[in-house]
Structure 1
Amino acid sequence: MDFQTKTLSLVAAASEKTDALVVLITEGAKPGKDVLSKLAGEAIAAGDFDPKAGKLLSLYKPAGVSARRVLLAGAGDGSAKAVRAAVASAVGMLKSQPVRKLVVLFAGPPSDAAIQASVVAAAESSYAYTTTKSKAEGRKITTVTLGVPDAAKVRAQVARAAGTVAGIEFAKEWGNRPPNHATPTLLGEAARSLARKGGIQCEVLGPKEVARLGMGSFMAVAQGSEEPLRFIVLKYNGAARSVTPVVLVGKGITFDTGGISIKPAGEMDEMKFDMCGAASVLGVFRALADIQPAVNVVGIIPACENMPDGRSLKPGDVVTSMSGQTIEVLNTDAEGRLILCDALTYAERFKPAAVVDIATLTGACVIALGGVRSGLFASDDKLAADLQSAGDRAQDLCWRMPLDDDYAEGLKTNFADVANVAGRAGGAITAAKFLQRFAGSFAWAHLDIAGTAWKSGGAKGSTGRPVPLLLEYLLARQPAPAAKAARKAR
């Protein structure tokens, strides 16, 4: 999707030639004498239109307007959240119509956050997955022009938002692909494709290299699959070498049967989404290539399948992690933490400023937080606060969960240093406590995205979360001059 900006007033917008015109109307907007203001004012007075966020009134060939289709879209208080709801509703209605070029008109100067929200909402509402469909229609709306009082003031912010969209959609693409079209090998190829873009380096390790590293926990999960594992390392260097990187670690279970502790058949197809943590890391790097911020970032993706086979990991097996800690595997369906723990140990070599792992880790987190907020666990209060604040700004919400040491009691075992599961109570927390054992040498956070990474039912598909949260966090870490310039761009 192509995003553009244009200086447009309400008067000029009435003459704009486009397939559809969306006019964002805020609550309390003062009626003007131009044709669009009159249309909105009359509709509100008659009770036919309510400017509350997400409310719509569709008009066809209104007198005095060049656009064939005009949508009055309620933008509530004009906040980013309200604008996002307005644009999402409008684009959702128009995407099934013969509309290719769309103008979204801000009657007054939009906030930086509202610009970001409008771009993300337009892309999200018009997104269509097509990769494995034989006769699929792709996205119909190809160009969205933001009409604003001063296009020059928002152009940089629109470019940044477009980069964010590119990252979200890259994550969606790989999250949505069927498991036979998103194997560990193919994930490695996707990562290599990013290295052809500016500032990104990629290394993909196979079974032999991983064995030499001593990643016994990761290898144990992969041993039941015919698909060879891949350990992917991405690097983006936008700052000076002296600037320590943030490391993002994404869980890459490209399909999860549960292994010997096999899952129920119902909805097992959705276990293709168990690599959405990995997809989010790929998406962040796709966005970094476009935005080119002054930060250093490392992405680590342990990728494999979790399959039942004669060679599969068994309940009761004890494996040795890269850190040297031994793990008793009581449930082979708690495999994500087994591959992440070795990736966290590997992350130490980068002497990171912070490490954030992202994983569809536990059903318990879905029970706790549903699909609204991702679960946030952190060993460092500032890191936790920065991530939560970034999520709030990006409208990609998370919620901090506890990490009291008492929660680790259930991970004790007579046969190894630690068990990979505790009881059912507090399952998301005990999973985080397991990971924390392997993240003691750096500031660490864990995002459990099991409830937010994808949707089920008629809207089944990847959400691309938490790419917006992670990008907002990374962009806020830019050195003061770059951060100041970025704020001006926003």
Structure 2
Amino acid sequence: MDFRSQVASIDALASHGADALLLVIGGDALPAGLDKTVAALIKDAIKLGDFELKAGQALTLVRPAGLKAARLVVAASGKSLKAARSAVASALGQVKGRGVVNASIAFAGFDDGLTESLIEQTVLAADEAVYLYRFTKPSAPAAPKLSKLTLLVGKDDAKAVKAGLTRGQAIAAGIELARECANRPPNVATPTFLADQTKALVRSHGIKVEVLDQKGIEKLGMGSFLSVAKGSDEPPRFIVARYEGAPKTQAPVVLVGKGITFDSGGISLKPGAGMDEMKFDMGGAASVLGTLRAVAELKPKINLVVLIAACENMPSGRAVKPGDVVTSMSGQTIEILNTDAEGRLILCDALTYAERFKPAVVVDVATLTGACVIALGGVRSGMYASDDALAESLSAAGEAALDPCWRLPLDDEYAEGLKSNFADVANVAGREGGSITAAKFLQRFASKYRWGHLDIAGTAWKGGGAKGGTGRPVGLLTHFVLSQVR
């Protein structure tokens, strides 16, 4: 979508021409200084009972008298950033599919004026509103017609608007890349596909990329990763991508993504119902790839390394079995009690590989456990951190991005269930605290640096009629990376 800004006063909205004029009002009263014609139209709608200045309410007027715009859409909002984004989404929903090509949006009644965050969330809401998956659906309806959104802003807001537009468009591009990767069917979105998508950033954004094939992975001694890949005919890929925005002497931020492009459960086969959604099990890989794109577009003075371990988890005569013991890159042996707990088996080797960068911090991202979905649903991602400062940084980034997470504990007692009679560690414990015990498993391989873990099993995609990747947590991760700039 083409986003633009234009200096305009809220007392002269009637003279602004567009297919649709969207007005978002913060609070439960009409703001002082609002265009008299617009105010009169809203007051009349309130008097008739067609509209209330309550958060969640929206009103559309066609060919409103005295306005140059063909439509006036009014959306009521609370004062919070979350409420404002919801109101923007509601306003955009009023014009979606109605032939609106060129829309303009104005804000009134927000005490702090137009902030960077409000503009960023407006861009993200608009991009989400027009997103339509089409790659394998040529019979889909025509692409949404809304292609231009002009933000009407005051002179004093110009700096904040420019910054918000820049950040919002970069994150939106990252989210769209993550969604597209996640939404492709698993016969298309293979480990090789993820590698190709990463290589494309070399040409478009100057990213440095190295892709290791099975022989390269074997040379690294990633026995745990390779054990998962054994059952599939699709070759695994280990992807290393680097954005270098700071001197080489500056320790990088490292993001690690779980890239299981299809998860059948392996020999510990999943139930058939809903198994198609296991194409989304590469949501962690998709999100770190989207974050890489967003960061590369914003060009902050920081070094960022993205690691993606990508393979399928399939049952076959070659597949790893419950009871097998494998040796990880770290030298630790792992007894595999359940082959459907495969994400941690590929991540542990990637976490060991991360040591070579002498990182400032490492955050892994994975659709790791159903237990996290039970604990937090689809609202917040599960978050673990090796220290309080890192936990606070991740939490703050999530709140700023409206992509929230929630910290869960890492008490040593949770690791008791991972003890094994036949290896250094088992890959699963009991059902209780399943997301926590999975995190405790990963923590064993991340002891040499500051480490965070995001379990996005509940937030990376939606099911049902809205089935599809969400692009989360690209927003959280991008804000986190930016917060680490020195």
TM-score range, shorter-chain basis? Answer: over 0.9
What is the rounded CA distance, in whole Å, between the counterparts of 2:205 and 2:226 in structure 1?
32
User: Equivalent of 2:116, from 112, 115, 137?
Assistant: 112
Q: Which residue of 1 aligns with 2:334?
A: 327
CA distance in 2, matches of 1:186, 1:152: 41
Letter in 1 for 2:271: P
Instruction: Tell me how far 1:70 sits from its aligned partner.
Output: 1.4
User: In the alignment, which residue of structure 2 is the partner of 1:488?
Assistant: none
Indicate the residue corresponding to 2:203 in structure 1: 196
User: Is 1:74 aligned to residue 80 of structure 2?
Assistant: no
C-alpha distance in structure 1 between counterparts of 2:212 and 2:175, whole Å: 25
| Matched residue SS, 2:15 | coil
**Worse overlay, 423-432 or 89-98:** 89-98
In structure 2, what residue type is equivalent to 1:166? A
Query: Contact between 1:199 and 1:237, CA under 8 Å: does it hold in 2?
Result: no
Contact 1:261 1:333 survives alignment (8 Å)? yes
Structure 1 residues 62 and 285: CA distance shift in structure 2, 3 A? same
Do residues 4 (structure 1) and 4 (structure 2) align? yes
1:364 to 339, 363, 371: 371
- Name 2:312's counterpart in structure 1: 305
Consecutive aligned runs of 4 or more in structure 1 exceeding 3 Å deviation: 44-47
Query: Superposition RMSD on alpha carbons, in Å?
Result: 1.3
| 2:176 counterpart (169, 175, 180) | 169
Aligned partner of residue 227 in structure 1, secondary structure: coil
Q: Is the 8 A contact 1:248 1:281 kept in 2?
A: yes
Q: Which runs of 5+ in 1 are unaligned?
A: 480-490
Matches within 5 A, 1:77-476: 77=79, 79-107=80-108, 109-136=113-140, 137-150=142-155, 152-153=158-159, 154-476=161-483
| 1:58–1:72 contact (8 Å) kept in structure 2 | yes
1:472: Cα distance to partner?
0.6
Which residue of the partner structure matches residue 482 of structure 1?
none
Range with greater deviation from structure 2 (216-225 or 99-108) = 99-108
State whether residues 14 and 35 of structure 2, in contact with CA within 8 Å, keep that contact through their aligned partners in structure 1.
no
The one-letter code of the counterpart of 2:86 is A
Q: Aligned residue for 2:59? A: 57
TM-score in terms of structure 1 length: 0.95
Per-residue Cα deviation, 1:363-398 (whole angstroms, up to 9, x for no partner): 000000000000001112111110001101111010
- Preserved contact between residue 115 and residue 164 of structure 2 (Cα < 8 Å): no
Deviation at 1:199, TM superposition (A): 4.0
1:486 is matched with none
Contact 1:107/1:149 (CA < 8 Å) preserved in 2? no
Percentage identity across aligned positions? 60
Aligned-pair distance for 1:295?
1.3
- Rounded to whole Å, the distance in 1 between the matches of 2:451 and 2:48 is 56
Q: How far does residue 91 in structure 1 lie from its aligned partner after superposition?
A: 1.4
Checking the alignment, whether the CA contact within 8 Å between 1:91 and 1:126 is kept in structure 2 is: no
**Corresponding position of 1:484:** none
Across the two proteins, how many residue pairs are aligned to each other? 478
TM-score (structure 2 length as normaliser): 0.96
